Chains A and B, each alone.
Chain A
Amino acid sequence: MTQESVAVELRGIGKRFPGVIANHDVDLTIRAGTVHALIGENGAGKSTLMKILYGVQKPDDGTISINGREVALRTPTDAIANGVGMVFQHFMLADNLTVLENMVLGAEKLHGIGDRARAEIRRISDAFGFGLQPDVLVEKLGVADRQRLEIAKVLYRGARIIILDEPTAVLVPQEVDALFANLRELRNAGNAVLFISHKLDEVLDIADDITVMRRGTTVGTADPRTTTKRELAELMVGSELPSPETEESTVTDTVQLTLADVTLADEFGRNLLTDVSLSIRRGEILGIAGVEGNGQAELVETIMGMRIPGAGRIHLGTEDVTHWHTRKLREAGIGYIPEDRHRHGLLLDAPLWENRILGHQTQAPNAKGPWINRSGARKDTQRIVTEYDVRAPGIDTPARALSGGNQQKLIVGREMSGDPVLLIASHPTRGVDVGAQAAIWDHIKRARRAGLAVLLISADLDELIGLSDTIQVILRGRLVGTFDPASVTPQDLGAAMTGGEAA
């Protein structure tokens, strides 16, 4: 490896936040003309490192060299000037503007806003196979097209080093393949791509070099040609990588939840859910696969009584609960692991023991008649903290101070308490590290053996296939297909999720 071919070199990078060492002694070398994968668990320090490289945060120690020259990146503007561009996981696009307008927004000086810009967009698009049409409104674009637009935006601004933060998290398998084709084009044109992920298959597929982070530092590099998934995983977690495994069926004949032709419309009369029918038996896990935004959230909120369907019936056991509100449903024994912990699951500024009460305000051991049972709730919080391995200094700690994984473990523990009959689990292991993920899977599987009916919604197809007894695919508010997880492949699911034919 010669010095000229090194695009980025980080040496001894350290970053401390009050009381937290986010990064220390990070060494990373990215060669020009390669795709470099940075992998690690959540909380391993990947995000902080990216922010340092993109000038959002200033490192406390260490040096950054770009193309062999040491630089100080104080702001993203500095980073862009040095040819570093970043594509965030959450797109930053204006829906009501065209592709061209989004592209030139904030970079009007580069190629103007007219034909010169249009020509440049075409050039970039053709060079890397992005297929962008400059005058289409962004709101008409799908997720994959938006992502390509984001990458093109970065290139338009002259980036030669492109950081992609978990770019595949929002894509279905076919789209991932297309993205990788684009990335290979970028690489062949001499750009350096830093690819952040924790999906090891993808990393092995695309990367030329791999750097692994754990606990804030780089713990090793690997050659994707010779390394295996297992070795990478062990580097990442320092132990063996768990994966959910289907166990023998515990499905019973007792139906716990039925939805019959449930239809839900928004305030403009557009259907969010159309004729959704499903049933879950005791001891069964029904997985719902789908690209995000196809009605999963609405389905969950309808079952939870947060939205009332316009048509159709919902039965819990033999009871018609179509018009029940959330509290009554929860009292009837529905546990709810929400998709967004902060929006639906936790009072961030309240202590853990108060969060134990949340959602179960009317139930033992949290309440006695109209009164809050403080000691009962505190005792039970202590139990959850121990049983579910919630790492916190104490139950008076505010929920905000916990890491995402520990917050999630608290929620899972809470929702599994009081012997629920039905569990609605939305992305139960999202943003959770591998250790906590395995623990959460175990808890769900154990409850299933005990006869719990589970509705599982997840973007992680491995998780869905590994845990579910049946998988249904949701597309534009309709259930469009039923699959047997024992025989289905991620490709089959991906095709159904996008409405295409099987790949």
Chain B
Amino acid sequence: MKSFNPRAIGLALLGPAIAIVASVLVTTLVIAAVGSSPGDFWSTMFDFPKPRSRVDIINQTAMIYTAAVAAAIGFRMGLFNIGLEGQYTLASYAAAAFAGGAYLSGFANVFVSLLIAIAVGAAWSAIAGILKTTRGVSEVISTIMLNSIAITLVGYLLNKYGVHEGNTVHTTRIDLVSGWTPFENRDGEIWTLVIIAILAGVGFWVLLNKTRFGFDLRASGQSETVAKASGVNPHRMIITAMALSGGVAGLIWMPALFGKATNFGLGTTFQAGLGFLGIAVALLGRNRPIGMLFGALLFAYLSVKSNDLTFATDVSPSIVQITQGVAVLAVVVAYEVVRRWRARLEQRVVSQELGTATEATA
């Protein structure tokens, strides 16, 4: 096992620490610059969340975390799957439409709906993988375009097959899966399918660190030429990794669908934007299962707590987007700085240990 020396842990925490300090500073400056009180802002934000917010934070953390895992699968392979948004929109629609059809009942309906979400997300994402391997199209470009196509496609399908209700349209209502109520009933419940996030996180860790496939994936991400020489088929690997990333992305909104939403409606029940948050959190957590968990928690906390700003201060809740943005930007820079520093440190350790050894044999 790797030894857990305090210096290594300190170095690992240094990046996020720098990022958080930087984002707090920038946010404070922005609030002061527009003439509001940073003090009010931070006291509201740091105020311990009420039970209702606590439940929300957990639910949001789960969805953001699933999205981060989906992004991380791509990142670890050196692929930038920016199309999580389209993948989970399409997958959520497909799952909600199937579940609404009530072809199956109870648990089976939920389970098959989840499988459909995975399949649709994976298929949509695999398109980008196939385009990359057969036509050399960068996945960054194709997935952005596939986002637009997915959202337009869902709008069309929803309009055609959905339930029209006044000005809104949504899929057929489904029965919720009852969750766990840790506080009063009015504080809401923690959704059952939050478990998806836990499974995704554990599955991601096992896949990466314990399986041959995960080894190939990491090798490809570190060096494509090395991976190829070691026997990895790069084309197959790209398509598989994209599909896997999209499959996990398909699950992002499932906890909310079966926990609260009851149906899929663009601009109403469906929560958009989780895919992009997931990419940000994957960057923040350095694509590591535990790191992303803290990142997801931080982002969920900021998003949920920002709702309190409307009542307690004159600061717009949107300000937390600046905090989130700066955190990601700063963390990318800080990690690079720390990485170089660590590399130098490692080299020094090696030469010190070997230096003494050579002296001894000389």
Q: Give residues in A with beta carbon < 8 Å to B.
A: 18-20, 215, 304, 306, 325-331, 336, 338, 343-350, 354, 357-359, 361-362, 367, 370-372, 374, 391-393, 396-398, 400-402
Contacts and interface: CB of A to CB of B under 8 A. Distances in A.
A393 B350 CA distance: 6
Contacts of B215: 354, 357, 361, 372
A370 B229 contact: no
Given A343-B223, A350-B218, A402-B350, 20 more contacts: A18-B348, A19-B351, A20-B347, A304-B229, A306-B228, A325-B231, A326-B229, A326-B232, A330-B230, A331-B231, A344-B225, A344-B226, A358-B230, A359-B229, A359-B230, A361-B216, A362-B212, A391-B357, A393-B354, A397-B346
B223 A347 contact: yes
B352 interface: yes
B9 interface: no
Contacts of A362: 212, 231
14 contacts: A19-B350, A215-B358, A326-B228, A327-B230, A329-B231, A344-B229, A348-B222, A362-B212, A370-B211, A372-B212, A372-B215, A391-B354, A401-B349, A402-B350
Contacts of A306: 228-229
B226 to A, nearest CB: 6
B7 interface: no
Contacts of B358: 215
Nearest to B357: A391
B212 A358 contact: no
Interface in B196-232: 209-216, 218-219, 222-223, 225-226, 228-232
B231 A326 contact: yes
B331 to A, nearest CB: 19
Given A367-B212, A372-B211, A391-B357, A336 B229 contact: yes
Contacts of B349: 19, 393, 401
Contact of B347 (A18, A328, A359): A18
Given A362-B212, A393-B349, A327 B232 contact: yes
Contacts of B348: 18-20
B56 to A, nearest CB: 39
B349 to A, nearest CB: 7
Contacts of B354: 391-393
A371 B211 contact: yes
A119 B354 CA distance: 55
Contacts of B225: 343-344
Contacts of A350: 218-219, 222
Contact of A343 (B2, B209, B226, B344): B226
A361 B346 contact: no
Nearest to B343: A400
Given A391-B357, A396-B2, A361 B350 contact: no
Contacts of A343: 223, 225-226, 229
B231 A361 contact: yes
B346 A401 contact: yes
A398 B345 CA distance: 12
B287 to A, nearest CB: 14
A370 B347 CA distance: 34
Contacts of B355: 19
B219 A347 contact: yes
A325 B211 contact: no
A374 B225 CA distance: 24
Contacts of B223: 343, 347-348
7 cross-chain pairs, A with B, having the tightest CB-CB distances, nearest first: A19-B348, A327-B231, A344-B229, A359-B230, A401-B350, A326-B231, A393-B353
B212 A370 contact: yes
B212 A361 contact: yes
A349 B222 contact: yes
Given A362-B212, A372-B210, A398 B229 contact: no
A347 B222 contact: yes
B265 to A, nearest CB: 41
A300 B216 CA distance: 22
Given A18-B344, A359-B229, A361-B231, A392 B213 contact: no
A391 B212 CA distance: 28
Contacts of B211: 370-372
Nearest to B2: A396
Interface in B165-215: 209-215
B226 A20 contact: no
A394 to B, nearest CB: 9
Contacts of B216: 361
B212 A371 contact: yes
A370 B212 CA distance: 6
B233 interface: yes
B346 A398 contact: yes
A43 to B, nearest CB: 11
Contacts of A326: 228-232
A389 to B, nearest CB: 11
Interface string B289-311: 00000000000000000000000
Nearest to A341: B226
A297 B214 CA distance: 29
Contacts of B352: 19
A350 B222 CA distance: 9
A328 B232 CA distance: 10
A470 to B, nearest CB: 26
Given A325-B233, A347-B223, A20 B351 contact: yes
A345 B353 contact: no
Could you say which of B212, B219, B343 has the most chain A C-beta atoms within 10 Å of its C-beta? Answer: B212
A438 B357 CA distance: 21
Given A367-B212, A393-B354, A345 B229 contact: yes
Nearest to B349: A393
Could you say which of B211, B223, B346 has the most chain A C-beta atoms within 10 Å of its C-beta? Answer: B223
Contacts of A357: 215
B210 A371 contact: yes
A28 to B, nearest CB: 23
A338 B228 CA distance: 12
B222 A338 contact: no
A354 B2 CA distance: 13
A329 B233 CA distance: 13
Contacts of A18: 344, 347-348
Contacts of B351: 19-20
Given A344-B226, A367-B212, A19 B347 contact: yes
Contacts of A371: 210-212
A358 B219 contact: yes
Could you say which of B215, B344, B358 has the most chain A C-beta atoms within 10 Å of its C-beta? Answer: B215
Nearest to B346: A401
